[in-house]
Amino acid sequence: MALDAVDAVDHPDSRAPRRQLLIHAGGLVLAMATWFSTAAVLGQLREAWSLTRAEGSWLTIVVQLGFVAGAVTSSALSLADRINPRRLLLLGSVGAALANAAIVVFDSYGLALVARFATGAFLAGVYPPALKAMSSWYRTGRGFALGAMIGALTLGSALPHLINAIGGLSWKPLMLVVSALSLTGGLIIERGCQDGPHSVGAAVLDASQLRSIIANRDFRLASVGYFGHMWELYAMWAWIAAFYGDVVDNTRAASLIAFFVIAAGAVGSIYAGVMSDRRTRTEAAALAMRWSGSVAFVIGFLVDAPWPIVVGVGLVWGFWVVADSAQFSTIVTEVVEPAHIGTALTLQLAVGFILTVFTIFLVPVIRDAHGWGWAMVLLAPGPVLGMVAMRALRLGPRRPVVPEPEPQVFISPFF
């Protein structure tokens, strides 16, 4: 109630921010379901199209690359300033739904890669506008609000695994169901939500600012933390169902476990968001990376342990692996000159998502050569390096950035 009471000063209905948060988050859960749709049925796709593990990896990798292309293009064209964020989100969800459904029509690996790239590009028009729209309802307590939105994204990413586990669907019906959910999510937010009373700036790209941004020590440290986070996160999400498939030797059970492990991050995101409001961004991020990195070091070597133990450890990993997501963009807005924020966020995004390509590709390669233990250890150096960067940022000298009388909050297209 305290968070809503603060915002009630600017809105006559004190319950409006909380109500809008529930609608936005619910819609985003559905709208983001297409991100890992192929990961939920990767075993079926490998059999249908005679794919190697490396080829299966590219069905997720191209989504990452598509998201980078879409986010950079959106930033360069200032689409978030030209189109109402709820309308932009609807357009993005429609595009992602159609691109995802096109895989059923194409039914071939090469064209599926094109469709997955397009899915990622359209999703760049879903998540960032959702954060921008939601942030316009919160001036204080944004850590909690954005944590809840990232939790919604996490649930949406996990949703295809739940559908696969409950329905036991073949891959074509599942892809169509997921596309329908994405479209529904976009409609819920566009039709059911309203613009908030607080202005939120968009991240606009200006390449001429790159040199001065890179020279900023605090930006470099915040980015190292983000890069470490991304090194681990998407590979974990992409391969956790395959890992549990080897633990329990049952595809539907593995999908259900994967859903709960990934979905645990929704709670972790909210917890870290509240912690960042009450303490500091760096402390919240470092705590999450300490836990997630520790689990990455050990979980792969537990593949033959009793399954309840492996599931319990996985739930801890899922809780913490995404909990730090909102902190890095917020740190950038606090340490970079206001005129440079949009470019700094876009630069951080592009490098971070490109890094995910390497770990998504390498995990199955190392797994085939040396087992799950060393495949998961590959992910651990990322959060370890990020934790060191957060400590240096917290303890080291900081170049002050003088705030404007009414500070703008910029929403970045990454998590």
- What tens digit of pLDDT does each residue of 264-302 get? 999 998 888 888 777 788 888 999 999 999 999 999 999
251 and 137 share one domain: no
Query: What is the pLDDT, as a whole number, of residue 204?
Result: 63
Classify residue 49: in a domain, yes or no: yes
pLDDT over 60 (residue 238): yes
- Examine the pLDDT at 99 and tell me if it is beyond 70: yes
Most confidently predicted of 70-74, 115-119, 352-356: 115-119
CA–CA separation, 314 vs 309, rounded Å?
9
Q: In sequence order, which residues have a C-beta less than 8 Å from that of residue 34 and are 6 or more positions away? A: 96, 97, 99, 100, 119, 123, 178, 179, 182
Does 217 share its domain with 349?
yes
For Cα atoms 54, 380, 264, give the angle at the middle one, nearest 5 degrees. 85
CATH of the domain at 323: 1.20.1250.20
**Confidence at residue 205, expressed as pLDDT on a 0 to 100 scale:** 64
Q: What is the pLDDT of residues 341-365, one digit of tens each?
A: 777 877 888 889 999 999 999 999 9
Between CA 313 and CA 293 the distance in angstroms is: 12
Print the domain residue range for 342: 212-396
Residue 404 in domain? no
Q: Is residue 387 part of a domain?
A: yes
Instruction: Note whether residue 163 is domain-resident.
Output: yes
Do both 238 and 183 map to the same domain?
no
Q: How far apart are CA 360 and CA 379, in angstroms?
A: 10
Question: Tell me: the pLDDT tens digits for 124-167?
Answer: 888 777 777 776 777 666 667 777 888 898 999 999 999 989 87
Answer yes or no: do 174 and 314 share one domain. Answer: no
Q: Which residue has the higher pLDDT, 44 or 394?
A: 44
Is 200 a domain residue?
no
Q: Write the DSSP string, 134-189.
A: HHTT-SS-HHHHHHHHHHHHHHHHHHHHHHHHHH---HHHHHHHHHHHHHHHHHHH
When divided into structural domains, the chain yields a total of 2
**What pTM value is reported for the model?**
0.85
Q: Do 358 and 223 sit in the same domain of this protein? A: yes
Q: What is the pLDDT of residue 411?
A: 45
406 within some domain: no
Considering the domain boundaries, does residue 3 fall inside one? no
> Distance from CA of residue 373 to its chain's centroid?
25
Q: Are 174 and 26 in a shared domain?
A: yes
How many residues are listed for the chain in this entry? Answer: 415
Examine the domain organization and report whether 312 and 276 are in the same domain.
Answer: yes
Point out the least confidently predicted range of 16-20, 153-157, 320-324.
Answer: 16-20
- Tell me, yes or no, whether 138 and 221 share the same domain: no
Q: Are residues 246 and 292 in the same domain?
A: yes
